[in-house]
Amino acid sequence: MKPDNSIENTICTAVDSDELSRIRDFVKLKAEDFGFGDGDCNKIVLAVDEACSNLIEHAYKKDSTKLLCVEIDSFDKEFIVKILDNAIPFDPSNVELPDMEKYFKVLKRGGLGIKIMRLVMDEILYYPSNEHNPVNTLILKKHLN
Protein backbone atom coordinates (compact mmCIF):
# COMPACT_ATOMS: atom_id res chain seq x y z
CA MET A 1 0.00 0.00 0.00
CA LYS A 2 1.17 3.47 -0.75
CA PRO A 3 -0.07 6.90 0.31
CA ASP A 4 -1.45 7.83 -3.11
CA ASN A 5 -4.67 9.74 -3.39
CA SER A 6 -4.51 10.24 -7.15
CA ILE A 7 -5.77 6.85 -8.30
CA GLU A 8 -9.33 7.40 -9.51
CA ASN A 9 -10.98 4.50 -7.66
CA THR A 10 -8.67 4.28 -4.66
CA ILE A 11 -7.96 6.47 -1.67
CA CYS A 12 -5.10 5.72 0.71
CA THR A 13 -4.83 7.69 3.91
CA ALA A 14 -2.97 7.82 7.15
CA VAL A 15 -4.68 5.92 9.95
CA ASP A 16 -6.24 8.96 11.54
CA SER A 17 -9.83 9.70 12.55
CA ASP A 18 -9.49 13.09 10.87
CA GLU A 19 -9.18 11.27 7.52
CA LEU A 20 -12.57 9.58 7.88
CA SER A 21 -14.40 12.53 6.33
CA ARG A 22 -12.24 12.23 3.19
CA ILE A 23 -13.04 8.52 2.99
CA ARG A 24 -16.77 9.16 3.50
CA ASP A 25 -16.80 11.85 0.78
CA PHE A 26 -14.90 9.57 -1.62
CA VAL A 27 -17.26 6.62 -1.07
CA LYS A 28 -20.39 8.77 -1.30
CA LEU A 29 -19.28 10.31 -4.60
CA LYS A 30 -18.51 6.87 -6.08
CA ALA A 31 -21.82 5.42 -4.86
CA GLU A 32 -23.74 8.37 -6.32
CA ASP A 33 -21.87 8.01 -9.63
CA PHE A 34 -22.78 4.32 -9.66
CA GLY A 35 -26.45 5.21 -9.42
CA PHE A 36 -27.45 4.76 -5.79
CA GLY A 37 -29.99 7.12 -4.24
CA ASP A 38 -29.34 9.04 -1.03
CA GLY A 39 -30.60 6.25 1.26
CA ASP A 40 -28.34 3.55 -0.15
CA CYS A 41 -25.41 5.97 -0.47
CA ASN A 42 -25.72 6.80 3.21
CA LYS A 43 -25.88 3.09 4.14
CA ILE A 44 -22.73 2.32 2.16
CA VAL A 45 -20.91 5.31 3.63
CA LEU A 46 -21.97 4.27 7.14
CA ALA A 47 -20.69 0.71 6.65
CA VAL A 48 -17.33 1.90 5.30
CA ASP A 49 -17.02 4.48 8.07
CA GLU A 50 -17.68 1.81 10.70
CA ALA A 51 -15.12 -0.56 9.17
CA CYS A 52 -12.45 2.14 8.88
CA SER A 53 -13.18 3.49 12.37
CA ASN A 54 -12.75 0.00 13.80
CA LEU A 55 -9.44 -0.39 11.96
CA ILE A 56 -8.16 2.95 13.23
CA GLU A 57 -9.29 2.40 16.82
CA HIS A 58 -8.77 -1.31 17.40
CA ALA A 59 -6.43 -2.80 14.81
CA TYR A 60 -4.01 0.10 14.42
CA LYS A 61 -4.49 1.62 17.89
CA LYS A 62 -4.60 5.10 16.26
CA ASP A 63 -1.04 4.77 14.92
CA SER A 64 -1.05 7.53 12.28
CA THR A 65 2.20 6.24 10.78
CA LYS A 66 0.17 3.38 9.25
CA LEU A 67 -2.00 3.45 6.13
CA LEU A 68 -5.32 2.09 5.02
CA CYS A 69 -6.74 2.12 1.52
CA VAL A 70 -10.28 2.05 0.19
CA GLU A 71 -10.84 0.81 -3.35
CA ILE A 72 -14.10 1.07 -5.26
CA ASP A 73 -14.96 -1.38 -7.99
CA SER A 74 -18.10 -2.59 -9.69
CA PHE A 75 -19.33 -5.57 -11.58
CA ASP A 76 -22.64 -5.40 -13.41
CA LYS A 77 -25.05 -4.04 -10.76
CA GLU A 78 -22.75 -4.77 -7.83
CA PHE A 79 -20.93 -1.93 -6.05
CA ILE A 80 -17.80 -3.26 -4.34
CA VAL A 81 -15.80 -1.52 -1.63
CA LYS A 82 -12.46 -3.05 -0.63
CA ILE A 83 -10.78 -1.89 2.54
CA LEU A 84 -7.10 -2.82 2.62
CA ASP A 85 -4.86 -2.81 5.67
CA ASN A 86 -1.68 -4.28 7.13
CA ALA A 87 -2.91 -4.67 10.70
CA ILE A 88 -3.27 -7.94 12.57
CA PRO A 89 -5.98 -9.87 10.68
CA PHE A 90 -9.49 -9.59 12.10
CA ASP A 91 -12.47 -11.24 10.43
CA PRO A 92 -15.69 -9.38 11.29
CA SER A 93 -17.80 -12.35 10.21
CA ASN A 94 -16.49 -14.24 13.26
CA VAL A 95 -17.93 -11.66 15.67
CA GLU A 96 -21.06 -12.67 17.56
CA LEU A 97 -23.73 -10.03 17.19
CA PRO A 98 -24.92 -8.39 20.39
CA ASP A 99 -28.26 -9.20 21.98
CA MET A 100 -30.00 -5.87 21.43
CA GLU A 101 -32.36 -6.28 24.36
CA LYS A 102 -29.41 -6.68 26.75
CA TYR A 103 -27.51 -3.92 24.92
CA PHE A 104 -30.25 -1.37 25.58
CA LYS A 105 -30.93 -2.53 29.14
CA VAL A 106 -27.39 -1.62 30.18
CA LEU A 107 -27.35 1.51 27.99
CA LYS A 108 -24.15 0.35 26.36
CA ARG A 109 -22.34 2.60 23.89
CA GLY A 110 -20.41 1.37 20.87
CA GLY A 111 -19.96 -2.18 19.70
CA LEU A 112 -22.55 -2.04 16.92
CA GLY A 113 -20.29 -1.35 13.93
CA ILE A 114 -20.18 -4.91 12.63
CA LYS A 115 -23.93 -5.33 13.16
CA ILE A 116 -24.53 -2.15 11.18
CA MET A 117 -22.25 -3.34 8.37
CA ARG A 118 -24.13 -6.64 8.17
CA LEU A 119 -27.51 -4.90 8.16
CA VAL A 120 -26.82 -2.33 5.46
CA MET A 121 -24.60 -4.25 3.03
CA ASP A 122 -25.66 -7.20 0.89
CA GLU A 123 -22.46 -9.18 1.33
CA ILE A 124 -19.33 -8.98 3.46
CA LEU A 125 -16.20 -10.99 2.73
CA TYR A 126 -12.86 -11.01 4.49
CA TYR A 127 -9.48 -12.25 3.28
CA PRO A 128 -6.60 -12.05 5.75
CA SER A 129 -3.11 -11.38 4.50
CA ASN A 130 -1.09 -14.46 3.57
CA GLU A 131 1.66 -15.52 1.19
CA HIS A 132 -0.64 -14.88 -1.82
CA ASN A 133 -2.40 -11.78 -0.53
CA PRO A 134 -0.06 -9.17 1.03
CA VAL A 135 -2.81 -7.17 2.76
CA ASN A 136 -5.97 -7.85 4.73
CA THR A 137 -8.96 -7.24 2.49
CA LEU A 138 -12.47 -6.52 3.72
CA ILE A 139 -15.00 -6.51 0.88
CA LEU A 140 -18.38 -4.83 1.27
CA LYS A 141 -20.90 -5.36 -1.54
CA LYS A 142 -24.16 -3.57 -2.29
CA HIS A 143 -26.46 -4.41 -5.20
CA LEU A 144 -28.09 -1.69 -7.27
CA ASN A 145 -31.77 -2.54 -7.70
Which residues span the domain enclosing 64? 10-143
pLDDT in tens, 52-80: 998 998 889 889 899 999 999 999 999 99
Q: Is the pLDDT of residue 5 over 50?
A: no
Side chain identity at residue 56, one-letter code: I
Judge whether 3 lies within some domain.
Answer: no
Answer with the residue of higher pLDDT: 22 or 5: 22
Could you report the per-residue pLDDT of 86-114, keeping only the tens digit for each? 998 865 666 565 554 654 455 555 555 67
Q: What is the CATH number of the domain that holds 55?
A: 3.30.565.10
Whether 1 is in a domain gets the answer no
- Is 90 within the bounds of a domain? yes
Residue 122 lies in a domain: yes
**Domain count for the chain:** 1
